[in-house]
Amino acid sequence: MAQRGRKNSGTVKVYGPYPNRGGFILDVRDPGGARAIEFFETEGEASRRAKLLKLAAGIEIGRTVGATLEDYEKYQRVEKGNKERSVVTTQIRLRGFFTDETLELRKVTPAVAAGYYKAQTATRAVDTHRGTLSEARTFLGWCVKRGWLHENPLAKVEGVGRRRSGKEQLTIEEARKFTDRALALASKRKGDLGALAATLPLLTGLRASEITNLQRRDLDDCGRILWVQEGKTAAAQRRVVVPDIVRPLLLKAAKRLQPEDFLFGQHYRDWPRENVQRICKLAGLPEVTAHGLRGTHATLAEGAGATGVLVAQALGHEHVSTTHKHYTKAGVVEQATQERALRIIAGGRRAG
């Protein structure tokens, strides 16, 4: 259990700023009564220093990062009323970011915090580490409001890398090879849950976070349906038809689970991407992301004749334009429209 903090014994007293010899001074008395005079060129500099000293006097000595994460979890669950899945996901992200939970919170300086983020950029995809940076910055901002930090150590840390509007996708043949290899691993006696999860962005269009948030109760109607209970938008809440080729494997994975248990266990949302890339390596394919497989799903679906509206609904998008801009490859929609027209012309006319 992480240690709780203790308040500074005594009180730091700050007097001033006072004008003095063309500048300004602060009269600072420590808890033991020792006196120090600090000089400043401007009143503004002296006032800012006084504010920091007063804030620092209220910071808890010994309060660890781990203890603060526990308090933040309670805050999100009780005070904010966040959904359980959201709370769990946030804790996984933050504990993956702040790797030393025994470190005193007051020692998380801007340099230390920047080091934590730099470590993230070396192991996580751009979208993932930038999202985690935002989450960590929000957490530290909450610590400032509680008086446990006098400034946000991540306030000036900028996200690294450019988020792409589209991700590399697999071709039709590559998608078949990927599915074959993943299902072969998932069908083994002990089963490979990571390989099974990796097929879902391609076969169902599910987001990585939606996969890690799935509970046993979301697998419904004897494994024929997956309910997506929450997501980025209202449109993300939907039901998804389970393809027959993965239905028995999902039922096997869910066999001994309680309704509220996570279907694939508790994982960081980057877990599906790691497994997608693992399968790509094993199958000798280009290393795409889970997001890229989701785009492959959209491209293949529209290429097979599904309308943009239906594909957008399957992906949980509010607008078809989002699907076309970020997921469906250029020319696919037009090609599918042409092929449907040719089929009608060639043999689909009704008898008059």
* Helix (H), strand (E), coil (C) string for 148-184: CCCCCCCCCCCCCCCCCCCCCCCCHHHHHHHHHHHHH
Residues 6+ apart with CB under 8 A from 30: 10, 12, 36
272 or 306: which carries more pLDDT confidence? 272
Least confident of 2-16, 148-162, 319-333: 319-333
Contact 97, 59 (CB under 8 A): no
CATH class assigned to 172-340: mainly alpha
DSSP 3-state of 267: coil
∠ Cα 86 88 92 (to 5°)? 115
- Other CB atoms within a 10 A radius of the CB of residue 223 amount to 18
> Could you report the per-residue pLDDT of 220-254, keeping only the tens digit for each?
999 988 998 865 555 567 788 888 888 899 999 99
pLDDT exceeding 70 applies to what percent of the chain?
76
Q: What is the pLDDT of residue 166?
A: 52
Residue with tokens 């359980």: 84
Q: What is the DSSP string of 199-231?
A: HHHHHH---HHHHHH-BGGGEETTTTEEEE---
Asked if residues 151 and 108 have their Cβ atoms less than 8 Å apart, the reply is no
- Between CA 105 and CA 66 the distance in angstroms is 9
Question: What does pTM read for this prediction?
Answer: 0.51
pLDDT value at position 243?
A: 83
Bridge partners, 238 (sequence order): 228
Whether 266 shows a pLDDT value over 50: the answer reads yes
Q: Average of pLDDT values for 100-112?
A: 93
Rounded to 10 degrees, what is the CA torsion of 220, 319, 93, 257?
A: 0
DSSP 8-state symbol, 201: H
Backbone phi, psi, residue 215, to 5°: -105, 165
Q: Cα–Cα distance between 90 and 7 in angstroms, integer?
A: 28
Hey, where are the domains in the chain? 13-57, 65-145, 172-340
Looking at the chain, the whole-number percentage of residues with pLDDT higher than 90 is 36
| Nearest by Cα to 161 from 196, 117, 224 | 117
For 45, the token pair is 């500099």
